[in-house]
Structure 1
Amino acid sequence: MRASVANQDLVMVGGGHSHALALRMLAMKPEPGLRLTLVSPDSLAAYSGMLPGLVAGHYRLEETHVDLRRLCQASGTRFVRARVTALDPAARRLTLDDGSTLEYDWLSLDVGATPDLETVPGAAEHAVPVKPVSDFHRRWRALLADLDHRTDELAITVVGGGAGGTEMVLAVARALIEQGLAARLSLVTAGDLLPGYPRGVRLRMARRLADAGVRLRTHARVQRVDAGRLTLGDDTLDYDFLLWCTGVKAAPWLAASGLPCDGSGFVRVNEHLRSPADERVFAAGDCAAFPGDLPKAGVYAVRQARALAHNLAAAVAGRRLRTYRPQKRFLSLLSAGDQDAVGSRGVGPGVAGPWVWRWKDRIDRRFMARFDEPLPAMTAAPADSAPYCAGCGAKVGAGALSEALAPLRPFAREGVEAGLHQADDAAVLNWPAGQRLVQTLDYLPAFLDEPYLFGRVAALHSLSDLYAMNATPHSALATVSLPRHHPRLQGRDLQRLMAGAVAELNRARCTLVGGHTIEGPELAAGFTVNGAAAPTALWHKSGGQAGQTLILTRPLGIGIQLASLMRGQAHGPWLDTTLDTMLAGNGPARDALAGLTDTRPGACTDVTGFGLLGHLLEICEQSAVDARLDLDAIPLLPGTLALVEAGVVSTLKPANDQVLARCEHRGVAEDDPRLAALTDPQTGGGLLFSIDRERAAAALAALRRHGLHATQVGELTVKNHKAFATLTLHGDGPC
């Protein structure tokens, strides 16, 4: 991916309302030389205003969430899917849950708040919090599915009588009606219903609770939660499903960072949304403790976005900051379940009815529509007047290089006499006696601007060829191209890329022994990897025999999914699944097959750039056989067919499609979108191997024990052409 020249890093942690809007604003008026990175554990960020409507069944999941990957792609922002576990302001460094670190020059925090389950004994073990929304929504859908198969009436209890709990229990009531299901509903609150709201709003919502059959328990503080039972002072309340919507707490790493925080652990900020103790740290949304103790409400986060975006850019450039002044009153629209809502501006009786819900619906949809509108990409900083050197002058500077490599701890393999830390001109290896040297090279331009993840994929992709031949990884040399940024930023990129690569090389017990770095127009990396194998243990493409079963260890569609990313049409959850698939590696598949005691693959290859059909054709040609594939059995990544039907395919597709001329189509239309998946180039694809039919079940079982969902996709057949191998595609059931 081509990068703009940058000299400072702004890292934004969390995909809350403030950050989602601020990213759009920064993209519309980019600050030259500033590189943006967004860190979030999820690709989808929930819009809190539509969550009750999602539960009630008024909206689909996609309508209620901001696709952060797509937003980052549109705004020229790096996206790191990870959870922050520690912050060191002095070192300007974040630690992520994947074990990597991320350094910054400027930091903005919008990580929200989570329900506090620790203050009530047993709540953490038995209650379902509304956040994270992804986990809550999964458990809610599971409950609906369970209710659909039960004949007894379940008790569903919501704890928390504020806006969130009241809207949620009414949404639950509506969803049950829509599904034709029955349950006993209770809303429990330690004080009055909807504290802080006008009396008219509270009366209207209480009436709607009664109409929905919700039993309201006010002034009932939960003292203990046991399995199936709440203790409320001298009383108890039984439940089958307990939803927790009261009290919030901050992420513990905020207070642990040493930044000034309030009593609940939220980061204190001044009127500029800036930490009073660290001018390089800003915070907004629920995680920020603003002077005056603002309520934790999304309406404040939305209004803070403009001030936050202005102040981040201004701080970087040394300009004057803008004061954020929270509104004294704001429009509050509460969902009441059945496309009904109650609204107020903090005073008076308020308004209510279906027309208020339609008003709220228009406002919410208009807010979400902003994130589907095209955005200008971040522009480059002014070009350096000095031309960039080629040849050895393109090497990355020694300072940036040494700082990036110093923390690496590559696996120490016996027999490496000179490697990464010896500073010799070449690596020196003492090769095991009686072993064959199996050597391969792969080099990839980055498909996304996240060095740590890309480093992992590049290493796994290079190791894949060794696994396809049953060789044991031994050592590796790296080749890396870094975009032209400030040397400090180059060092950060190189450190993250190599940290990701070394994590995978170490997992494979493969020693990094050296490498080479240059500056270039885009991030790219590859590895020359060495493997060892006994001559008789090697697997080849030439060992296939007619009658053997074909097994594929991983779904197809990686190239199509990456093409959607390049075109700005990626769907976050689909891409997350794709990346997780790529990061699985082929080591477990090789270990599973190598562990079979009384058989071995006939032929084996990894499915990469030429697609499934291209690599299968190589097996057929080398083994002098034909093949028959069951198109209905080919596993595909989620969303792959939808993307193909939308016209999204890899640029390598036309070249790979030439293999289709070698195929007989039986029951498969020429325009079947599944054919695009068969020729789709795979980065980090799975293994394709043949095995004796009577041993196929044992191989599949071994792969499952190693966590792989491999699939039987066809068979090798007797060659019936003199000059060319023939592939037969069946689309009418198993071969």
Structure 2
Amino acid sequence: MTAVAHHDLVLVGGGHSHALVLRRLSMRPVPGLRLTLISPDSLTAYSGMLPGMLAGHYQRHETHIDLSRLSRAADARWLPQRVLELDPVQRRLLLDNGDQVEYDTLSLDVGATPDLDSVPGARAHAVPVKPVATFEQRWRHLLADPTAARRVAVVGAGAGGTELAAALAQRLGATTEIQLISASELLPGYPDRARSLIRKRLLTAGVRIVEQAPVQRVSEGQLHYNGQPQEVDLVFWCTGARAPAWLAASGLPCDERGFLRVDSTLTSLGSPHVHAAGDCASFPSPLPKAGVYAVRQAPVLADNLLAATRGGHKRPYRPQRHFLSLLSAGAGDAVASRPPWPALAGPWIWRWKDRIDRAFMKRFENLPAPMPAAPADSDAMHCAGCGAKVGAATLNHALADLQTRVRDDIEAGVAQGDDAAVIRWSGQHRLVQSVDYFPAFMDEPYLFGRVAALHSLSDIYAMNADPHSALATLCLPRHHPRLQGRDLRRLLAGAVEELNRASCTLVGGHTIEGPEMAAGFTINGALTAAAWSKEGARPGQVLIVTKPLGIGIQLAAWMRNVHRGPDLDATLATLLQSNGPARAALSTLPPSACTDITGFGLLGHLLELCQHSQVSARIDLNTLPILPGTLAHIRRGIHSTLRDSNDQVLGHCEIAPALLGRPELVAATDPQTSGGLLLAVTRERLEATLAALRRAGADATVIGETVVKNHKAAATITLHE
């Protein structure tokens, strides 16, 4: 049951301060407070370990905080979006997907990005080191083909640029010419001894250091400084930090580089409801843009955000005069600097730095799970989405003796068991109607509204009908009416986005309060061509699925907070993929039979298709498309609570003994929310069908074939490899 909330605290950005605030709130939840984190990436880099990762000392997963897991542990909504606008008067944020999020209290930790507009050509021809996700993509391309960039320039010789140059020299070796260019001196603001120690190590590694050389222009293959063009293959830009443009555009007081002006309590000078920490905050006495300040600000920020939500007293943040700086110098070497003490260097400094960094990252391991592992107790918490569906055996038992009135104008109804009802309406017109409803798998209304609409539309597409209109049935948690209104607006906005894209008009609905968010839509469709159904498959045809499997398992892992951010990204992308384009792609290539894969899993829906078509099927387990990370979750015992019911379909399967322990079997019965289509097509149309589906963006995969059914036996599915 969802706890009642009355205050929306929204965090924008996944910087160090916010990561630590979320960690604290995961251990000490605050009654009545609803948390939301807006950050475009599921993983955020820890700056202290990033140079070590680039140099090859760490794997990527060791250096990134999983924001999706951290948000789940703190019972916070996670929105993987970017902010485009901030309206402090209406207390509203506009996101890059068109969604709008309202807040009562707002905190910003969005960092800083290199200024690419101060030098002509830099935006077009240089690679900024932030955002880190974009930089990492370019870095991976460089590692894949080092010969494509034999001459690399790093512009900006502060701490970040210096560590990057050292990492480049360590990773790429002597075959790459590396130059480090500074408009002033090496490591401005650092003591002379620290600069001397770093300089010696860079020169030993073969890095060319160019000081007092402001870059005038960047062009294709050239860097212009000291009045001369220098030939380069790749330019990394690490200088001139600026804030995101939407901060200054908000009208809140900002400094000359766009960073939000705050007082000693980390509160905006223009709004008591807005706070900031980390690099995006500008103090009366400017601070260096260093991660150590963000880490030290986190406890003060957490206390002051809670004070803002309760009307309490805020405490001041008092920055330290000096801080310890540990700079990676490549090759397992590092330099330590903390005035007034003399700088030190050597491998032991690197080992010291490594222990500090690993201890910081260890804070984000073993996060608490809001939901325990799936128990056998039938009264325990159950999965949401299509994992909350009533099992096939239970449903069939309830419908077996149901005496429904049969009208002549109903072509398909309960008795036919197809994906949607078909009704002859007003002459030759046929109405296709379907309804779906399920609890939210994530407490994120906009995303859930989109998925609920797409899932409801899927049955209409599986019947080859055109969506026409929709009625909504919605349940909202019992929060404060102000928060309920925000949820309702965002849920409907997400649903209408997908309904509009499908040319389907929302014409009404019904809303109630309940223990948790839930949504469903009755979809009316117009059937203007031949209907697709589960009948029509013939022996010798090919079976195709259009989306990967494993959604139910991934959502179960999410609910138990044992998922991985990148795997969740892939799952969300699959959930938000409409079956409309796949259906449109087959307008001239109609399948022999079709259904969509939802609550009963691949094998459950395939069995229905076989039974209706009077065929059997052979499936190759090795060909099943499965979402990344799903098989690992299965091996750890993660599965949907609908598994036991769905596994009854295995009684209709012929399975070789060697396959009985395979995790793919669990994926094959896993309930799919917003799953793909399952098609039977003739071999003559196979290549054309696959090409059409893939042009439409569907992940079309051949998984098996239909075969002759023993006329005396029930339809069976043979699983092999």
Select which of 604, 611, 636 maps to 2:601: 611
Number of the residue aligned with 1:458: 452
Number of the residue aligned with 1:158: 154
What is the one-letter code of the residue matched to 1:248? A
Report deviation, 1:430.
13
What is the one-letter code of the residue matched to 1:155? R
Deviations 1:150-200 (A, max 9, x none): 4x87111111100000001111111124xxx72111111111100111111
Number of the residue aligned with 1:416: none
Number of the residue aligned with 1:321: 314
Select which of 639, 647, 653 maps to 2:637: 647
Does structure 1 residue 507 correspond to structure 2 residue 501?
A: yes
What is the one-letter code of the residue matched to 1:523? M
C-alpha distance 201-704 of structure 1, shift in aligned 2 (>3 A): same
C-alpha distance 103-204 of structure 1, shift in aligned 2 (>3 A): same
C-alpha distance 430-548 of structure 1, shift in aligned 2 (>3 A): closer
**1:314-353 paired onto structure 2 within 5 Å:** 314-353=307-346
Aligned residue pairs total 670
Deviations 1:413-439 (A, max 9, x none): xxxxxxxxxxxxxxxx99675221111
Does structure 1 residue 531 correspond to structure 2 residue 531?
A: no
**SS of corresponding position for 2:86:** strand
What is the one-letter code of the residue matched to 1:722? K
Number of the residue aligned with 1:28: 27
Higher mean Cα deviation, 490-499 or 626-635?
Answer: 626-635
Does structure 1 residue 728 correspond to structure 2 residue 712?
A: no
Does structure 1 residue 549 correspond to structure 2 residue 542?
A: yes
Does structure 1 residue 635 correspond to structure 2 residue 625?
A: yes
Number of the residue aligned with 2:673: 683
Number of the residue aligned with 2:350: 357
Select which of 484, 492, 495 maps to 1:490: 484
Counterpart-to-counterpart distance in 1, 2:320 and 2:191: 17
Identity %: 62
Counterpart-to-counterpart distance in 2, 1:509 and 1:154: 52
Report deviation, 1:709.
2.4
Select which of 659, 671, 679 maps to 1:669: 659
**SS of corresponding position for 1:537:** coil
Report deviation, 1:288.
0.7
Select which of 626, 644, 648 maps to 1:658: 648
Report deviation, 1:633.
1.4
**Equivalent residues of 1:464, 1:684 under 8 A apart:** yes
Number of the residue aligned with 1:520: 514
Does structure 1 residue 448 correspond to structure 2 residue 442?
A: yes
What is the one-letter code of the residue matched to 1:12? L
Select which of 596, 616, 620 maps to 1:626: 616
Counterpart-to-counterpart distance in 2, 1:377 and 1:220: 54
Counterpart-to-counterpart distance in 2, 1:448 and 1:433: 44
Counterpart-to-counterpart distance in 2, 1:153 and 1:50: 24
Report deviation, 1:135.
1.4
Higher mean Cα deviation, 497-506 or 229-238?
Answer: 229-238
Deviations 1:235-288 (A, max 9, x none): 222111211111111111101111000011110000000012211111111111
TM-score when normalising by structure 2: 0.91
C-alpha distance 22-480 of structure 1, shift in aligned 2 (>3 A): same
**Equivalent residues of 1:668, 1:730 under 8 A apart:** no
**Equivalent residues of 2:322, 2:339 under 8 A apart:** yes
**Equivalent residues of 2:593, 2:680 under 8 A apart:** yes
Counterpart-to-counterpart distance in 1, 2:447 and 2:599: 20
C-alpha distance 604-376 of structure 1, shift in aligned 2 (>3 A): closer
What is the one-letter code of the residue matched to 2:481? P
Number of the residue aligned with 2:383: none
Number of the residue aligned with 1:408: none
Counterpart-to-counterpart distance in 2, 1:43 and 1:233: 42
Number of the residue aligned with 1:142: 141
**SS of corresponding position for 1:543:** coil
What is the one-letter code of the residue matched to 1:81? P
Counterpart-to-counterpart distance in 2, 1:118 and 1:638: 39
Does structure 1 residue 476 correspond to structure 2 residue 475?
A: no
Report deviation, 1:540.
0.5
**SS of corresponding position for 1:541:** coil
Does structure 1 residue 693 correspond to structure 2 residue 693?
A: no
Counterpart-to-counterpart distance in 2, 1:254 and 1:273: 15
Counterpart-to-counterpart distance in 1, 2:592 and 2:120: 59
Select which of 156, 163, 168 maps to 1:167: 163
Report deviation, 1:668.
4.8
What is the one-letter code of the residue matched to 1:68? L
What is the one-letter code of the residue matched to 1:195? P
Report deviation, 1:341.
0.6
Deviations 1:549-576 (A, max 9, x none): 1111111110110010011111111101
Number of the residue aligned with 2:73: 74
Deviations 1:81-106 (A, max 9, x none): 11110011110111011101011111
Does structure 1 residue 202 correspond to structure 2 residue 195?
A: yes
Number of the residue aligned with 2:245: 252
Higher mean Cα deviation, 341-350 or 458-467?
Answer: 341-350
What is the one-letter code of the residue matched to 1:165? G
C-alpha distance 560-377 of structure 1, shift in aligned 2 (>3 A): closer
**SS of corresponding position for 2:548:** coil
**Equivalent residues of 1:153, 1:182 under 8 A apart:** no
Select which of 250, 256, 269 maps to 1:263: 256
Counterpart-to-counterpart distance in 2, 1:373 and 1:634: 32
Number of the residue aligned with 1:382: none
**Equivalent residues of 2:368, 2:561 under 8 A apart:** no
Number of the residue aligned with 2:42: 43
Number of the residue aligned with 2:284: 291
Counterpart-to-counterpart distance in 2, 1:153 and 1:668: 49
C-alpha distance 153-319 of structure 1, shift in aligned 2 (>3 A): closer
Q: Over aligned residues, Cα RMSD in angstroms?
A: 1.6
Counterpart-to-counterpart distance in 2, 1:542 and 1:79: 42
Structure 1: which 5+ residue stretches go unaligned?
379-428
**Equivalent residues of 2:70, 2:367 under 8 A apart:** no
Counterpart-to-counterpart distance in 1, 2:330 and 2:191: 20
What is the one-letter code of the residue matched to 2:639? V
Number of the residue aligned with 1:388: none
Report deviation, 1:324.
0.2
Counterpart-to-counterpart distance in 2, 1:685 and 1:29: 37
Report deviation, 1:658.
1.6
C-alpha distance 135-433 of structure 1, shift in aligned 2 (>3 A): farther
**Equivalent residues of 1:28, 1:376 under 8 A apart:** no
Counterpart-to-counterpart distance in 2, 1:495 and 1:282: 25
Counterpart-to-counterpart distance in 2, 1:663 and 1:131: 52
Report deviation, 1:537.
1.2
Report deviation, 1:720.
2.4
Does structure 1 residue 130 correspond to structure 2 residue 129?
A: yes
Counterpart-to-counterpart distance in 1, 2:699 and 2:26: 41
Counterpart-to-counterpart distance in 2, 1:153 and 1:509: 48
What is the one-letter code of the residue matched to 1:308? L
Counterpart-to-counterpart distance in 1, 2:424 and 2:673: 32
**Equivalent residues of 1:560, 1:649 under 8 A apart:** yes
What is the one-letter code of the residue matched to 2:11? M
Deviations 1:50-107 (A, max 9, x none): 1101111111111111111101111111111111100111101110111010111111
Deviations 1:324-383 (A, max 9, x none): 0011011110001111110011334311111111111111111111111434869xxxxx
**SS of corresponding position for 2:535:** helix
**Equivalent residues of 1:200, 1:348 under 8 A apart:** no
**SS of corresponding position for 1:324:** coil
Counterpart-to-counterpart distance in 2, 1:153 and 1:222: 20
**Equivalent residues of 1:27, 1:377 under 8 A apart:** no
C-alpha distance 375-646 of structure 1, shift in aligned 2 (>3 A): closer
Counterpart-to-counterpart distance in 2, 1:431 and 1:548: 34
**SS of corresponding position for 1:204:** helix
Report deviation, 1:721.
5.3
**Equivalent residues of 1:611, 1:680 under 8 A apart:** yes
**Equivalent residues of 1:161, 1:187 under 8 A apart:** yes
Report deviation, 1:632.
1.5
